[in-house]
Amino acid sequence: MFGRWPLTSRVLVRVGLVTLLFVVVQQTLMLDLRVGGVHPDIMILLPIVAGLVGGPSRGAWMGFATGLVADLFLPTPFGLSALVATMLGYAVGVATLALDRTAVWLPVVAALAGSALYELVYGVLGSVLGQPQMLHVDLVRVIAVVSITNAVLAIPAMGLVTWALPAASTEGVPTSPLSSGVAR
Amino acid sequence: MAPPRRYRRPRTTLLILVLASVTIITLDARGGFHRITSGVRSVAADAFSPIRGGIDDIIEPVGSFLAGSVHYGAVRQQNQKLQDELDQLRTQQVSQQEVLQQMKQLTALLHLPFLQNLQTVPAVVTDFGTSDFASTIDISVGRNQGVQLNMPVVGTSGAAGQGGLVGQVVQRNDDSATVRLITDGQSAVGVRYGSSANSLAVLTGQGSGKALSADLVPSNTPLVDGDVFYTSGLPGASYPTGIPVARVVAHRNGLTSAQETVSLEPEADLVHLRYVSVILWGPSA
């Protein structure tokens, strides 16, 4: 189960390839690209864009999977990225249900706001989970660097995720007058 | 009223995934499962190490080429030939200075006075932290070079200092390791200060770039700016005795508190780390 469509091997391979590409870019280019001691985090883009392309469930699934992958390379508690990214993917999917998902500005704004929200929740949750140092960082700077970078990269990321996932989801989106009722 | 049916399924999915994540976090924090996650992280780091190296090798010349092109455009308006020569000389000078600096650091690292008979493994710092939320560095030695978890890591000072404690190994892979710096919020180092053998304290990190804080220093302790705190080496301590950790930069009498408020700067230069030494030492050694 992966949202409302079956998880075919083609989808798996494509999602795997896109995730691998993001991991490689994150672990090489992005780690060297530091602004004021802070580096971008493009892994957050995947659940955001998946939430936009496929709706809440797919956003949540993508967040869980990519979060676990990201956790492999982080010194913070294992599973924390997965938890926050799951909620982020879902939130983006729900928040954009009523919006025109084809609007060009939407991925940029979603990446900007989603990344800021992610970093904030990540720091707070980490602190709650016994990592108080996670609130000792310059959170404003982290949010600024990560959000702006992700906003810039949102459009190409959207293209990649759209390629990886099957045709756009209609999850929660009325597709006809009949389907806009309570049951679908 | 029950929510519309179309929303139920995403919510169930969310609930399942959040529960799965929380379960993973809980299991990871409670012993046994942590070994598995640590092992998987180690495998991932080992697998990515050559990819990182390869891509860095590709990017560096491209970056140099682009920088060179931009520079070329600017100097063309002046005297191109002379400027090129000047640039060459400058580059040579910079690289010579860099080499000298590196040699200085390496020499100092080999002769750290406090190491005495402790066996060490030198390492290159390959990365400055993979997370914006933790103060860590990645180094070029690992399990294959004898590096184990919790081993202390030391480095040199920027100025005339004697060098000091950098941190502790928190993740070791085949040929690389991650070191938690003493400035990290999770770091706590048992230290000794002053002339009395009973003057003990704990230095805790406050985050990258921030001063360390000393706990358990009684109020009105006669401290002087510049006083150095050394690892205590008490039985069961995580570090061998006598390693300089940090130097007092500010202290304030806690008039109403039982403790002195003390801020300290690390003795090792954590900002410009290029080389470090891992001390092959464990609490049982």
Q: Which domains does chain A have, with CATH numbers?
A: 9-166 (1.10.1760.20)
Query: What six digits make up the tokens of B52?
Result: 């990182």
Q: Which residue has the tokens 């002379």?
A: B82
Distance (Å) of CA B265 to CA A64, B35, B119, B222: 40, 34, 26, 18
Angstroms from A130 CA to nearest CA on chain B? 9
Pick from A21, A25, A27 the residue to mutate for testing the B interface (most B CBs within 10 Å).
Answer: A27
* CB spacing of B40 vs A72 below 8 angstroms: yes
Enumerate the residues of chain A whose CB falls inside 8 A of the CB of residue B6. 171-172, 182-184
Chain A residues with CB under 8 Å of B178 CB are: 75
pLDDT recorded at residue B235: 81
Give tens-digit pLDDT for B140-167. 999 999 999 999 999 988 665 678 999 9
CB contact (8 A) between residue A64 and residue B21: yes
Per-residue tens of pLDDT for chain B, all 285 residues: 445 544 556 788 899 999 999 999 988 887 667 778 888 888 888 888 888 778 777 776 665 565 555 555 555 666 677 777 888 888 888 778 777 777 777 777 777 888 878 889 999 998 887 788 888 999 999 999 999 999 999 998 866 567 899 999 998 888 899 999 999 988 999 999 887 777 889 999 988 888 898 888 887 788 888 899 999 888 888 899 999 999 999 888 765 567 788 899 999 988 888 889 999 988 765
Residues of A in contact with B41 (CB under 8 A): 72-73, 78
Is the model's pLDDT at A7 over the cut of 80?
A: no
In this prediction, residue B194 carries a pLDDT of 83
A7 touches chain B (CB under 8 A): no
Q: What's the pLDDT score for residue A59? A: 93
pLDDT value at position B31? Answer: 67
Interface predicted TM-score (ipTM): 0.83
Q: Å from B133 to nearest chain A CA?
A: 5
DSSP secondary structure string for all residues of chain B = -PPPHHHHHHHHHHHHHHHHHHHHHHHHHSSHHHHHHHHHHHHHHHHHHHHHHHHHHHHHHHHHHHHHHHHHHHHHTS-HHHHHHHHHHHHHHHHHHHHHHHHHHHHHHHT-GGGTT--EEEEEEEES-S-TTS-EEEES--GGGT--TT-EEEE--SSSS--EEEEEEEEE-SS-EEEEETTSTT-EEEEE-SS-TT-EEEEE--STTS-EEEES-BTT----TTPEEEE---TT-SS-TT-EEEEEEEEE--SSSSB-EEEEEESS-SSS--EEEEE---TT-
The pLDDT value given to residue B20:
94
Instruction: Check CB contact under 8 Å for A78 and B133.
Output: no
Kindly report, residue by residue over A38-78, the tens digit of the pLDDT: 889 999 999 999 999 988 999 999 999 999 999 998 888 89
Which one, of A30, A60, A44, A74, lies nearest residue A169 by Cα?
A60
In angstroms, the CA B73 to CA B71 distance is 5
Of B7, B34, B133, nearest to A123 by CB-CB distance is B133
How is B52-88 classified by DSSP, letter by letter?
A: HHHHHHHHHHHHHHHHHHHHHHHHHTS-HHHHHHHHH
- Contact assignment for A28 to B13 by CB distance below 8 Å: no
- Residue B189, pLDDT score: 93
A79 touching chain B per CB within 8 A: yes
pLDDT at A17: 95
> What whole-number distance in Å separates Cα of residue B173 and Cα of residue B178?
8
pLDDT at B159: 61
pLDDT in tens, A106-164: 999 999 999 999 999 999 999 888 888 788 788 899 999 999 999 999 999 999 999 99
Distance from CA of B205 to the nearest CA of A (A): 8
| Nearest-CA distance A177 → chain B (Å) | 15
